[in-house]
Amino acid sequence: MDDLHEKGYEVFLNLMAYTHIEKREIVQILNKIDKSKKKLKAFYFADSFGSLYPNSIKEITNVIKEHTDIKIGFHGHNNLQMAFANALTAVENGVTFIDSSLYGQGRGAGNLPTEIICAYLDANSNKHFDMKKIISIIESTFIGCSSKVTWGYNIDTFLSGINDVHPSYIKKLRAINLSTVESYILMQEMAQNKNIFSGYNEVAFEELLKAKKIIE
């Protein structure tokens, strides 16, 4: 971080998978950040698995503000179609930077759609955007792209979000033809063991599948 700052880069620090980190660990991170906050543009937190609701957004922003006065950023995923609501809550609670992408383009369920947050701000704040240009870019590029590389809400991204687990797990379950209900039940069990299934733990996942006699 020091090296990047000295070279003139704007440095942002992004805390991923917030729901898989204990509060005391977050406080420890924030305390370290506060000592070198002049070198950081903002401290981001990400809804990595698209599992957060507005009350959680308010909670984490309050924790951050209690331990540092650095600017805050939020990166939301749309597994539960909560990216927009979570972004509004983040703004209402003092978050300065909000990530988005045109047409919500992004891995799996995708991100907060730029056009939605811009339309909201255009109508409800003193910030104004050229909506015609944004819509034109979506029409000329992103609509066609979405037919080749799919993203957006579906039942699989929902299963990942509602259970707060890595999306690669559901892809693996689909590859071995596990049904939606069976996948949901298995992912519920994984959700109760976040210490094991934090991030993507392929070894532990295969051991679980073997124990359930889903694979040999």
pLDDT in tens, 34-89: 666 667 889 999 999 999 999 999 999 999 999 888 999 999 999 999 999 999 99
User: How far is it, in rounded angstroms, from Cα 159 to Cα 167?
Assistant: 8
Architecture of domain 2-146: Alpha-Beta Barrel (3.20)
- Output the pTM of the full model: 0.90
For residue range 92-104, list pLDDT tens digits in order: 999 999 999 999 9
By C-alpha distance, which of 97, 84, 98 is closest to 40?
A: 97
Which long-range CB contacts under 8 A does 54-57 form with residues at least 24 apart? 54/82, 54/85, 54/86, 54/88, 54/89, 56/19, 57/86, 57/89, 57/90, 57/93
Residue 5 has pLDDT above 80, yes or no: no
Question: ∠ at Cα 56 (186, 202), nearest 5°?
Answer: 30
DSSP for 78-108 reads: -TTS-HHHHHHHHHHTT--EE--BGGG-SST
Tokens read off for 138: 């979506």
pLDDT at 22: 85
Instruction: Work out the mean pLDDT of the chain and round it to a whole number.
Output: 91
Backbone φ/ψ region at 44: left (φ over 0), alpha (ψ -120 to 50), beta? beta
Residue with tokens 């609670």: 93
Q: 63: exposed, middle or buried (C-beta count within 10 Å: 0-12, 13-18, 19+)? A: middle
Could you tell me the residue ranges of all domains in the chain?
Answer: 2-146, 155-211
The mean pLDDT of 121-132, rounded to a whole number, is 92
